[in-house]
Amino acid sequence: MSDCKPRGADILRNPHLNKGSAFTEQERDELGLRGLLPPAITNLENQVERTLKNLETKRTDMGRYVYLQALQDRNENLFFRLLIDNIEELMPVVYTPTVGQACRQFSHIHRNSRGLFISANDRGKMRQILDNWPEKDVKVIVITDGERILGLGDLGANGMGIPIGKLALYTACAGIEPHQCLPVMLDVGTNNEALRDDPLYLGLQQPRLDGDQLTELVDEFVHAVQDAYPTALIQFEDFTTPNAFSLLSDYRDQVLCFNDDIQGTAAVALAGVIASTRITGVDFADLRIMFLGAGSAATGIADLIQMALKDAGVEDEQARKQLWLVDSQGLVVESRENLAKHKLGYAHDAPKMDLISAIKEIKPHLLIGATATPNTFTEEVVRLMSEINERPVLFALSNPTSKAECTAEQAYEWSDGRAVFASGSPFAPVEYQGKTFKPGQGNNAYVFPGIGLGAIACEARIISEEMFLAAANTLAHLVSESQLEAGTLYPSLPEIREVSLAIAVSVAEKAWEQGLAQKEKPADVKKMISELMYDPRY
Q: Give pLDDT tens digits for 135-164.
A: 999 999 999 999 999 989 999 999 999 999
The number of CA neighbours under 13 Å toward the Cβ of 218 is 24
> What is the distance, to the nearest Å, from the Cα of residue 1 to the centroid of all Cα atoms in its chain?
47
Strands in 366-369's sheet, in edge-to-edge order, are 330-331, 323-327, 289-292, 366-369, 393-396, 420-423, 440-441
Question: pLDDT (tens digit, 9 = 90+) per residue, 488-519?
Answer: 999 999 999 999 999 999 999 999 999 999 99
Residues of the chain with pLDDT > 70, as a percent, come to 99
- pTM, whole model, 2 decimals? 0.94
- At 327, the pLDDT band (50, 70, 90 cuts) reads very high
CA Rg value for the chain: 24
The two beta strands, 420-423 and 393-396, are parallel
Question: pLDDT (tens digit, 9 = 90+) per residue, 2-31?
Answer: 457 899 999 999 999 999 999 999 999 999
**Residue 237 DSSP SS3:** coil
How confident is the model over 62-67, as a mean pLDDT?
98
Question: pLDDT (tens digit, 9 = 90+) per residue, 269-285?
Answer: 999 999 999 999 999 99
| Residues with catalytic roles | 95, 166
Separation of alpha carbons 104 and 156, rounded Å: 10
Q: Which domains does the chain have, with CATH numbers?
A: 1-42 (1.20.1370.30), 98-255 (3.40.50.10380), 263-445 (3.40.50.720), 449-530 (3.40.50.10380)
**Residue 56 DSSP SS3:** helix
- At 202, the pLDDT band (50, 70, 90 cuts) reads very high
- Residue 3's pLDDT is 54
> Which H or E run includes 441?
strand 440-441
User: SS3 sequence, 360-379?
Assistant: HHHCCCEEEECCCCCCCCCH
Mean residue pLDDT of the chain comes to 96
